[in-house]
Structure 1
Amino acid sequence: MSEAETARVDPTLPLEKQSWYHGCVTRQEAESQLLPCKEASFLVRNSESGTSKYSIALKTSQGCVHIIVAQTKESGYTLDQSSCVFPSIPEVVHHYCTQRLPFTGAEHMTLLHPVPRPQ
């Protein structure tokens, strides 16, 4: 990951200030944003499912996957419920920029290329 891309994932900035946070976009809109992007491009959006507030849309070699970010009882955030819990969404994203994702189908991947919101 280049320094410029790492700088775009600043875990100290609130989620709303992150360029890769797209807010209330649908699953289909997120996929159309990722379509022209290279593999390992990602964005964070508000989840459409009632169980979670956020999801990470990720471009893989097979297409797009949508990873639910679960909120813990202690108001932390986790991707897999078993290991890493973080105090904020930017910290989740920052962690998985360097650590492989804990998912079948994406286990070799990290979050490499933040996709900025359209202007």
Structure 2
Amino acid sequence: MSVILCLCSLSSSPHCLARPWSWYHSSVSRQQAEAQLQRCREASFLVRDSESGTSKYSIALKTSHSCVHIIVAQTKTSKGLGFTLDQSSCVFSSIPELVHHYCIHRLPFNGAEHMTLQHPLPRQQ
């Protein structure tokens, strides 16, 4: 099992993506993410900027059959903006906190409910 340090307390940024998180690939396209994950093992993942106008970020995840793209929704909380994978699940104050949580806990989606984020795909330099 991979140990991934994704704690956000080291940064004052509410989104924490200014830090060099290896799994954050910024502006790669959906197709580029799929191509990169195609050669990876199951439960490999990366976070990228979403191409949809409704969300800022998306998690690309390699499953046993394909690659799925999970929208990270932004929501307002009493403390400001938060991030969630589905409105009935946990809300996190940063993307790294969300990633860290789902490295440990199963994803809340049909077809991926048995999975966690296990193998971060480092961005190519």
Cross-structure match for 1:69: 72
When the two chains are superposed, the root-mean-square deviation of aligned CA atoms in Å is 1.2
Of 79, 85, 88, the residue aligned with 1:82 is: 88
User: Percent identity, aligned pairs only?
Assistant: 72
Report the TM-score when normalising by structure 1. Answer: 0.92
Do the aligned residues in 1 keep the contact of 2:82 with 2:91 (CA within 8 Å)? yes
Q: Once the two structures are superposed, what CA deviation does each residue of 1:51-104 show, in whole Å capped at 9, x if it has no partner?
A: 000000000001100000000023100001112000000000000001000001
**In structure 1, what is the equivalent of residue 13 of structure 2?**
none
* Structure 1 alignment gaps of length 5 or more: none
- State whether structure 2 residue 25 is matched by structure 1 residue 19: no
The 2-side partners of 1:11 and 1:112 are apart by: 18
| Residues 47-66 of structure 1: pairs in structure 2 closer than 5 A | 47-66=50-69
> Residues 12 and 90 of structure 1 are in contact (CA less than 8 Å); yes or no, is this contact kept in structure 2?
no
Runs of 4+ in 1 over 4 A off after TM superposition: none
What's the CA shift for 1:12?
3.6
Q: So what's the TM-score if we normalise by structure 2?
A: 0.88
1:11/1:94 contact within 8 Å kept: no
| d(CA) in 2 for partners of 1:10, 1:64 | 26
Show structure 2 runs of 5+ residues with no match: 11-15
User: Aligned AA for 2:67?
Assistant: C
One-letter amino acid of the structure 2 residue matched with residue 98 of structure 1: I
